[in-house]
Structure 1
Amino acid sequence: MSDRNITLSPGGARKIADAITRRRIELGIRSARSFGVETGLDYRTITSIEACRRDNVSRNTLGVIEHTLKWPAGYLHALLESADVEAPVQATVELVIPDGADEAAVEKARAVAQATFDSMLRQA
């Protein structure tokens, strides 16, 4: 991936800003400063992207953001190019645990269920 800049239209800037902010909050990263620590990017870079104050962004910066947000490489660029791009599927398994259940057995069941579900998503 080259370090060339991608020019952002106002609509494109808004599209990626909304996607980034929504996803980082989903992942429990509450602030741009915390996200900066997670990505290794200056928090002012994150803030300016999320506030739509940039008219360009480097491919490398987008790649770092995608990786940190657990998106596939190129997702944000594809989002800019098309209105039809959907967010990658992110899912978790939720188990109903009866009172008094053995904690070790519950953790093992949770891990097996998540691995099975993740495998199904990769095959879809």
Structure 2
Amino acid sequence: MPTDSLGTAIRAARAAHGLSLQQVAERAGCSPGYVHKLEMDRVRTPSPRVLAGLAEALGLPYDQLMGAAGYEPLATAPTPPAMPGAIKRYSNAHIVKLLEEVQRELAAIRELLATTIRVQ
């Protein structure tokens, strides 16, 4: 991949796995349009999060995609082993539920603090 662009590498891996843009996008956690833009080298600096998702979806080394995207390699950091399913994807509804739970917990903490301050 050193001479290949990021887009060429993604497109080749997708074709090798027989995956559609939609399938890669779902597995990587981004839109099919964004995957297409990446394949056409129309994205200047894709985020490391997207690259991690693509690496997992396509079975490519993350550091290789990062290098192809122009990120400097971390010479001292070891490459983490591939862990299928290590990247969790949450729906917006799930994220909203988590945020609501955090808000309830924060309200309970504030109430407890207010009660503690009044008692003293």
Q: TM-score, normalised by structure 1?
A: 0.48
Q: TM-score, normalised by structure 2?
A: 0.49
Higher RCO (CA 8 Å, separation ≥ 6 residues): 1
More helix by share: 2
Question: Quick check: which has more Rg, 1 or 2?
Answer: 2
